[in-house]
Structures are given as structure tokens and as C-alpha cells.
Structure 1
Amino acid sequence: MDVYLHSTGTVLPGPPIDIPTLAKMFDLPSVWEQWADSFIDTPTRHYSVDLDSGELRFSLADLATTAGERALAAAGAAPSDVDLVVMGTSSPDMLMPATVNVVADRLGIDDVATYQLQSGCAGAIQALDVARRLLGSGGHRTALVLGADSCAKHLDLTADVSALPPGEQVNGVLFGDGAGAAVLRTEPGAHEVALRWTRVRCVGHGREPGQTLNWFGAADRHADRPAAIEDYQAVRDAVPPLAAETLDEALEALDWDRGELDYVLPPQLSGRMTDEIHARLDVPDAQEVSCVRDTGNTGNALPFFQLERLLPRMIAGDRAVGVAIESSKWIKAGYALEKVGA
């Protein structure tokens, strides 16, 4: 059974925060600004926390609910139409209840199957994969797929950032907050874009994690270990070839020629990394759909920001492949779309 992408919805919290603002806030030297500009090249990001007061303005459920509302409205779908909700996130508001269920409740969605996938940057595509397979089996007709992340809970506004090791400093530059959503159905919608293929594979056997996020309970809340660590060099080394492998797998599975690809949606870790990955993908005839320089790295929300840019541009016969790579234990994920109507 074919599955169709009907709509997307996204949200970013608060105003954009640029590198000079971060440098001033944490009293960082100009050399840090130069490093962030040249090595990371992600000009802005958005935070759910107010940087002046430290007040948390938006929970992950707040953001995901808004994205879900926007996706449903864009699809002309009512909450009662939804019979499946799948969410990917690496930063739920709490361990229980799952954020997906809080969002479903706020949206007025009830008596449906819900799933929350704990994953980093590949989580949104994992959610698309689960939804596509369940819709394709004939058991469901309409799915709301969510991807959202918030690094706000890891921001220590009192920290001496200049004293932190690079693996902790880089997280504050790389990541921001945001949420995205999509409506999938078994009938074509106004866009008539078919979700042709999804694939998720863990390839982390024998590899050290490239990123670690820690959770703290009552017994270890004062433990002397960082909340977030990023091995950015390991990510730079591993992600481009993994992304190229995923694109090749999509083209082979669908029997699409490289020259037939109209759009490519590469991983969005940072502005600089996206450029490196896109060059490695070697699809000069395909248009790149990227957003990280505008949105910051919003984790599992990012694919929906890319899709939001892609859908209005597709015309009959257009083909697109999206790729996401998670560095925590090395997951490669991809999806393919084809415009089947006028």
C-alpha cells in the first residue's frame, strides 16, 4: 500500500541567537568566535530557555504540540482523523509519561496507537519508517509523525564555558531547539508526494559513541559528569561516508539513476559539515535542500524543516532522497519521495 506525505509543520522557540551573543554571554574570547564561525559555520540557533533570566519558556511538549497543530491544519485533518502517532526525540520532557502521549492528549487525539522513539538525529526518520510500515500494512490510515528536541535542559548559564573541554563547548554552538511534524496518509493529498522508501540501520558495532547525553536521577543528580559530550572530530570523519552509503542504498533499492535525482536533503549537523557531506554525496544535478544555517541544529526536528522547504518545490516526476546520521551509536537512516501527481 502506498503512503503519501500530506503536510508538514514546524516551530522554533524564541529569537535567533547568534555567535557574538553567545560569546558575550559566556565572556568568551574573540578567537572562540572565529573558531565557531569558521569551523562550525552555524550562524544562529533558537533556545527554549530565556538566556537573560534562565527561565524555561517552552517544554518539548509545547513545541511538538504547536508543530502537530500546524501539520494537521496544513493537511486539512482533524485530530479525530489520526489513528497513529509516532515521535522521535533524544530529549523528552520526562521519562514517563512519554512526551508523545502528552502531545496527543493536548491535540485531542485519543484511543490510537502511539510510539516514542529515543534517538538522536536519526529519530525523525525512524519515526517516518515506523509510520510508513504500519500504514502500509493496512492497519492504519492517517499518521501524525513528530520530531522534536530541546537542548535547553542541558544549558548551564552559570558555567565557565572557556574552562570546559572542547567536547562540551561544541554542543552549545551546534544545537538549538525546535519541533517538526508531518501528516502521512494512505490516500494522495494535494501534494501527491509518495513516501517510496525508508531505511534505518545501526552500524555502531565496535565503535565508541560520537555523542553522549546523560540523565540524572535522585541518586546521582550531583554526579561529576557532563550532561552532554560531542566527539566532533569523530563525527566529521564518520558522517560523510555513512551519508554517501545511505544515498547509494536508496538509489539501489529504488532502481533510480543518480542523474534522475532532483533533490537531496543531506544531514544538517552544522553549516560546515553539511557542505562537506553534500560534496561527498556527489549529486551535482540534484538541488540541495538545507536549513541548518537558518534554524540551527534542531536534532529530530530538522528533517521536517527540510521537507517544509521541499514540498512546494516538487513537480510531477520529481524524486528526492533525505539522509540523517546519528552519532551516538552510529545509526544511518534515509527516506525517498516521489511526486506522482501534477
Structure 2
Amino acid sequence: MSARILATGSYLPGEPIDNEQLEKLCGPLPADVLAGLGVARRHWLVDPATGEHIISNSRMAEAAARVALAKAGLAPQDVDLIVLSTASPEYHLPTAASYVQEHLGLQRCATIELRAGCVGAVQALDIARRQLADGTFRTALVIGAEAISPLLVPMYQGLDPLGVRMRDRMSLYNFGDGAAAVVLRADPARGTGPERAPGLGACVFGTACLGGGRKPGMRVVGGGTDLPYSRQLARKRLMDIQLDASGVAGLGPQVFVTALRDMLDRTGWQLSDIDAFVLPEGNAEYFSSELAAAGMSRQDHELVQRRVVENLADVAATGSPAVLLALDAGVAQGRIRPGDTVLLLAIEASRYVYAGLSLRWGEPMVAR
């Protein structure tokens, strides 16, 4: 038994917010820093002017799931497993995955939720395809969803734009919200009908956390159990993003090179065998400029850059849905075609985690 990707889908909340709009709210970034980020626009589930929420995390996840199901020609009632990754659910409990189940009108469904950022959707794909491959379930929704803007708006709301701290502006310009979904179905044989749609093939998974003993590259603090709530309420912000920009710039490319080598070792592929590297921030200047120092040759770097599939400029850094948003955009734009060898590769700054999944797009999965 194997598993097939029947369809992908995305959802981005609200109208795109470009850098000019953001500058009026929170002040400018230096031109070289802005160019290095590589972000031209982003979507927020918060109205940037009022701070009001226009949609929730789980509703974004539902919307992306419905798009993917429609493309697959399936109804929500066909789904018997939901695996969702997010670092920004509405509540600690119940899980956002259970709310997606409710929004889809499913009285009974298996749900699994990963508390993760950028790597979560890739890890969720691997969990789902294993559950389908062993016959436990038949149809799965894998979703990445993130609501980061509720943490961002308090950084500038009520302040003079020029009074916003530069480190806060970095986060404001860097992050966006959104959701993306993939429909998987158990595939006992090649078959006909929807089973002929693009799918997982020759699939290998790899993941590791390289941050043991290191300062986190990013933390979201507040609303947890690290301190008594009386002390948390005394903080400047109840919840906040803390980003170690220099640490991420220094170690992030090393994590990528390590991840890439690990995936090549696991698959037995050469770099030249891969038609599409789905790497959401792969063309960002801050990322690319450090790869040589991390041990990647110029020739290998140029090859990877020519084949990177990403949409960072349009959606910003989105955490959990990032890889699936890039995958959906790559398929829609014809940059990923049936028969292509594809590597999904996510790098997460929190504890310098990576997760990779190799697949043959449009061919039946054969376990290695």
C-alpha cells in the first residue's frame, strides 16, 4: 500500500499588504535590509489598521482544505484523517485540528496536531502517508496554518511609526499568515480516476533538530507556563516574538547544507537528479549569501538556485504552511510537473530543525 497526493490548495487572508503600506504603519527598513529579506507583500488575518481579526487560524485551515478537496473531486465526508501543523492555534486545547474537523462538518474523524513552525507540514505529510500506507486510514488532509499577525500588530499599534524599534520592524516586514493543504489517499495500485493525479513517489523522509545546547533562533513567549501569569502580565507584551537574527543568519545555512546532504544520502540521488527544490526561503539574499561559508560549492549553489520553487516575495515567512504554499504555487505555475523529482525541504529557526521529504511527482509511491 502506498499514498498519493490528489491535490493541493491554499488560502491567504485579506488583501495583500505591500511594503509601502507597512512603512506608513511601522516605519521603514534600510533598503539593503529590505532587499535581503526578499519580501514584497504579505497577508495578515488581522486588519492592519484596526487590529481586528477577520478570520481565525482554523478557519484559514478549513478554507485551504476545501480548495484542495474540490480540486481532488472529494467531499469533506471522504476524509478520515486530519493532520495539522501550527504554532499559533486559537486555543491550547481543544486542538485546531479538531476545530477544522468541526468546520468541515465531520462528526467523527481522526485528528493529529503538531506544534511546530516551518518543518511541521513536512513532518505532517510523513505521518499521514505512513498512516495511509499501513491501511489505518484511506483519505487524509494534511494542513499547515499560521496566524502570526496577532503578535505583530501590538508592536506598532498606537505608536508613532518612527518610534517602532528596528528589531520589531524586522519581524513586521518578515512574517505573514496563511494556510495550505494537501489531500492524500491510500493507493493499493496504480488504478484510474483520481488515483492518476500527481502523487507521492519514491518517498524518503528525514528530520533532525540541531539546536541542542544552542540559543533558540526564534521564540514565541507568553501565554505558556514558563512563569506565573501574574509575572507574565507584567511583561511589555503578553505574547512576543523573539528573533536572534544574527544566529539565524549564521547557523541557518549550515542547517540547510546538513539537511540537503542528509536527504541526498538517504535517497541516493545527486543534486542534478532533483528537478524542483521546494524551499520557501531558498532565494532570499540573507540565506543565499551564507551558503558558501556553510560548505556548499558555487556550482552546487547555482544548480540549487535555478531549481528552487518558492513564493516568499508574495507571502512572506509563514511558518507551518510555507512549504505547502510554495508547493501549491509551483504546481499552479507549471514549475512542478508530472514525472519531476521533487525535494520538499523546510528549515525552522526555533531550534534549528529541518525536515525533508523526497518524492516523484505524478508517479506511484514505492517505499525505499
TM (norm. structure 1) is: 0.90
Aligned 8 A contact 1:11 1:178 in 2: yes
CA deviations over 1:42-72 (Å, ceiling 9, x no partner)? 1111111112222111111121110011111
Answering whether residue 256 of structure 2 is matched by residue 258 of structure 1, we say no
Give the distance between the partners of 2:279 and 2:289, measured in 1 at CA.
Answer: 10
Match of residue 246, structure 2, among 217, 233, 236: 233
The residue correspondences of 1:1-342 to structure 2 (distance < 5 A) are: 1-26=1-26, 28=27, 32-154=29-151, 155-156=153-154, 157-159=157-159, 162-163=162-163, 165-187=165-187, 189-195=195-201, 196-216=203-223, 219-224=230-235, 226=237, 227-268=240-281, 271-273=284-286, 275-276=288-289, 280=296, 282=301, 284=303, 287-311=307-331, 313=334, 314-341=336-363
| Cα-Cα RMSD | 2.4
Aligned 8 A contact 1:9 1:67 in 2: yes
Pair 142,300 (structure 1): closer, same or farther in 2 beyond 3 Å: same
CA deviations over 1:104-146 (Å, ceiling 9, x no partner)? 1111233222111111111111211211222222211211001
Give the distance between the partners of 1:288 and 1:278, measured in 2 at CA.
Answer: 14
Give the distance between the partners of 1:261 and 1:269, measured in 2 at CA.
Answer: 15
Give the distance between the partners of 1:3 and 1:274, measured in 2 at CA.
Answer: 33
Give the distance between the partners of 1:216 and 1:259, measured in 2 at CA.
Answer: 46
Letter in structure 2 aligned against 1:259: S
Shift of 1:249: 1.7
Show structure 1 runs of 5+ residues with no match: none
CA deviations over 1:167-222 (Å, ceiling 9, x no partner)? 43321111011011111112263433225122221221111101010132753452
Pair 315,23 (structure 1): closer, same or farther in 2 beyond 3 Å: closer
Letter in structure 2 aligned against 1:14: G
Give the distance between the partners of 1:100 and 1:267, measured in 2 at CA.
Answer: 24
Q: 158-167 vs 246-255, which deviates more?
A: 158-167
Pair 161,201 (structure 1): closer, same or farther in 2 beyond 3 Å: farther
Give the distance between the partners of 1:277 and 1:122, measured in 2 at CA.
Answer: 21
Q: State the percentage of identical aligned residues.
A: 31
CA deviations over 1:88-113 (Å, ceiling 9, x no partner)? 11111111111111011111233222
Shift of 1:24: 1.2
Letter in structure 2 aligned against 1:223: A
Pair 75,169 (structure 1): closer, same or farther in 2 beyond 3 Å: same
Letter in structure 2 aligned against 1:327: A
Pair 119,270 (structure 1): closer, same or farther in 2 beyond 3 Å: farther
Give the distance between the partners of 1:138 and 1:276, measured in 2 at CA.
Answer: 45
Show structure 2 runs of 5+ residues with no match: none
Give the distance between the partners of 1:121 and 1:136, measured in 2 at CA.
Answer: 25
Shift of 1:292: 0.5
The number of residue pairs the alignment matches comes to: 339
TM (norm. structure 2) is: 0.84
Shift of 1:166: 4.4
Moved over 6 A (4+): none
Q: Secondary structure at the match of 1:87?
A: strand
Shift of 1:254: 1.6
Letter in structure 2 aligned against 1:224: R
Give the distance between the partners of 2:136 and 2:318, measured in 1 at CA.
Answer: 32
Pair 253,269 (structure 1): closer, same or farther in 2 beyond 3 Å: closer
Letter in structure 2 aligned against 1:216: G
Give the distance between the partners of 1:276 and 1:212, measured in 2 at CA.
Answer: 24
Aligned 8 A contact 1:128 1:198 in 2: no
Shift of 1:289: 0.6
Give the distance between the partners of 1:241 and 1:267, measured in 2 at CA.
Answer: 16
Give the distance between the partners of 2:198 and 2:48, measured in 1 at CA.
Answer: 42
Letter in structure 2 aligned against 1:236: A
Letter in structure 2 aligned against 1:339: W
